Structures are given as C-alpha cells and as structure tokens.
Chains A and B, each alone.
Chain A
C-alpha cells in the first residue's frame, strides 16, 4: 500500500474527494495542508491505496503527492 496526499482549490473539493474515496473503500481522511507543501491554510486529503485513484478526485484538485522516503513527492499538478 502507498500513502498519497491530494491538495485542492476549495474545501468542498476536498470534502467531495474524501467522500468518493471512502465510498470506494479507500482509507482516507481530511487534514490541514502541510506547510511544507503550500502557504494555503486549506484542507487536503490523505489516503492509503494501491493506486493513485485520480478518477475519484474532484476536478478542482490542485496537486497529488506520494510519500517517498518520508517526504512528499509530487505526482501530478492541476495548477491552472
């Protein structure tokens, strides 16, 4: 299992994504965005899964990170 973290442009997007992940049986929880990743004080979703589950994330996701050697490594950015 791998550890993922997704940041979002809005709190609602985080809420919808967390709900969708949980419905799919993925272990997910909402937490504040780590300061090392963003100056935003918004909400992110941390989840543990075999794959990144991009399709389950709301369209207003910002970035998806994967935990690698105790640090978050950027997997994908949706920074428009």
Chain B
C-alpha cells in the first residue's frame, strides 16, 4: 500500500474514533462532528441568531482550524494566499450551510448518521452525490473562480486569530455569550476534550487532505479513489464503534436529530455537494485550508457562519422528528426552508454559468 493511501485511511480512522469519543463524552448522538451544526452553534453563541437550543461556542471548530494551522506551520506548508472571488465564496459558504442545515448535517455528519444506522440520511447521500456530479460537469465545462495570489502574512492569521478569540470567549464566558440550557447546544463534551479532538483531527486532515466532497469528485473526474478511502474509513470506523457500543440502530424510524423529509434532504445536500465542488472542498476542508493560511477559505467560513445565522433567523433550518411519551411529532423542512433551498439552487446555477470559461474572454 502506498504511503498516501495509508495516511488517508489512518486519517479516516482517527476522525471516526474522535467522533465516537466525542459522542460518548456528551455530544449529541451521531454528532461527534458536524461542521454545519457547530458553526450554527457558534453563530448562536455569539448571538447572531436566537434559536435558544443551538447556542454554544464549539471547541471542535476552534481545534480543527488551529490543528491544521499548527500542522501546516510544522510542515512548512503555511502559505498566505487569497484573492479568488472572495465575495462569491462568502455567498457560496452561506448557501452550502443553508442546504446542510435543512438536511441537519454537513457531509461529515451525514457519514456519521449513516454509520449510526440512520437510513433517513441515504436521501442526503444521494443528493450530495448528485450535487457533486453537477459540480463535476461544471468543472469539465471550464468553471473557475480564478486563482489566488500571495498576500501579506497578516491576512492569513485572521481566521486562526478569530478562533483564538472564540476560545477566550468560551472559557471566560462573559454575559453576552449565549450557552444553550437545553437541546443539542446543551449536549457537549467537556471543552478540553472537544478542543483536543478538534486539534488532532485538524492536524491529520491537513496532513492527509481529507475532504468529504473531494473524494467523490476525484472518483468521477479523475478516476482516483484516494480521497474517497478517507470517507469510507470514517464510515467503517464509526460503524464498528457503534456496533461494539450497541449504538447501531439501522432503521427509518425516529433517528437522533434527523427527519423524514426525503425530497428536501436530497435537495439540501444537492446544494452542499454542488457548492462544495464550486468552492473546491467541503465545509471541513474550508476550515483546514483557512488554517493553512488561505484567506479565501477564511472568507468562506465567515460566509458559513452568516449562512447558519440566516438559516435560523429565517426559519429555514430543518426540524428534527421527535418522539415524546410515545407520541411522534414529524419534523422536516418548513416552507421557508424549501424556498431557501430553491433560491440556493438558482444562485448556484447562476454562479456556475457566469464563471464558465469563455475562450474569447481569455485573450
């Protein structure tokens, strides 16, 4: 086995184990990691939205960025670069998170949900693959947001610095920072465990280039399966872990923080897959690239935080199914969420068409 294949499998196993540890330590079920949910929680913690059940400055996100930052520095791969359509990337980041929050999970949580036996997530997986296929067609037709350039080093420290600031706010817990008292935002591992898990995963993700969208993209575009092995390794690790811990529950019945709205799960994750390909990586990969000094990815992360806030302020996030005292309450995607996804798909189409290569313009 080649070294980079082994590295990718190790990275997948590490991410899977970290997810299992975080869930066992208090994170919500099937949510050891969820970039979309955790950015949404951070937006809530900062008071950017007022959904009381999802407000907490998640140390995992801080750890992911700073872990990648540290590993990039140690490997002399930290490079300050920016200038590739930052405004469009901000918008794309927001759209991707709106799609993910309708489904109730980023691509990483989608894998964790599937590995927990959540069969409702299959609709999301199909939508994610479909969206990536659309993105691959765009790439083949010459889609590009343009190249990034060397920038001043200070630009590359903005997101890592923001994360350090978040860590200070989490630990100091001033009155203006919100902490959920119930719901998913109140379910979390002790902050040091979350931070360390994030640091480790951020470091291995930087070293391996792990990307949930890139694996499927490369399989279709280049017939290369290296990145995809990381995706599969996470699934297999968490699946085995859940079976051993008796947490594997393969059913379509009520699943943790999930819903049965298959069509809108499919379309929500279509937005995520398509948008991720246009951005050049999934939400996890954006955090890692920002940690490596990429200012465009930093802008994308800020777009994702704003997108998460908009999703909750406008009632576009998915509502989870609930079973209380034997009474089933159906969740799903509200009309506002459906409109949001429709607008996101239209915007993705416009962005894709407006950024296709035109030979005449290139000369």
Contact = CB atoms under 8 A, between A and B. Distances in A.
B139 interface: yes
Nearest to B218: A32
Interface string A42-68: 110000000000000000100000000
Interface residues of B, number: 32
B245 interface: no
Contacts of A10: 144-147
A35 B144 contact: no
A35 B4 contact: yes
B295 to A, nearest CB: 14
B224 interface: yes
A17 interface: no
Given A15-B142, A39-B206, A32 B222 contact: yes
A42 B277 CA distance: 11
Given A10-B144, A39-B206, A79-B150, A31 B139 contact: no
Task: Point out which of A15, A79, A80 has the most chain B C-beta atoms below 10 A from its C-beta.
Answer: A15
Contacts of B292: 39
Contact of A13 (B4, B75, B143, B147): B147
Interface string B214-245: 10001001101011000000000000000000
Contacts of B221: 43
Nearest to A60: B147
A35 to B, nearest CB: 5
A9 B148 contact: yes
A31 B75 contact: no
Q: Which of B144, B214, B280, B285 has the most CB of A within 10 A?
A: B144
A65 B226 CA distance: 22
Contacts of A11: 139, 144, 280
Contacts of B148: 9
Interface in B133-180: 139-140, 142-150
A73 interface: no
A12 B359 CA distance: 12
Contact of A39 (B75, B214, B224): B75
A80 B206 contact: no
Contact of A43 (B75, B146, B147, B222): B222
B293 to A, nearest CB: 10
B4 A34 contact: yes
Contact of B77 (A31, A39, A80): A39
Given A12-B143, A12-B357, A80 B149 contact: yes
A9 to B, nearest CB: 4
Nearest to A62: B147
A13 to B, nearest CB: 7
Contacts of A80: 149-150
B259 interface: no
Nearest to A43: B222
Interface of A: 9-13, 15-16, 30-32, 34-36, 39-43, 60, 79-80
A-B residue pairs, 9 tightest by C-beta: A9-B147, A12-B144, A39-B77, A41-B209, A35-B4, A10-B144, A60-B147, A10-B147, A32-B224
Given A35-B7, A41-B285, 9 more contacts: A12-B139, A12-B143, A15-B139, A15-B142, A31-B222, A39-B292, A41-B211, A42-B280, A80-B150
17 contacts: A9-B147, A11-B139, A12-B142, A15-B142, A16-B357, A32-B227, A35-B208, A35-B209, A39-B72, A40-B209, A41-B209, A41-B211, A41-B280, A41-B281, A43-B221, A79-B150, A80-B149
Interface of B: 4, 7, 72, 75, 77, 139-140, 142-150, 206, 208-209, 211, 214, 218, 221-222, 224, 226-227, 280-281, 285, 292, 357
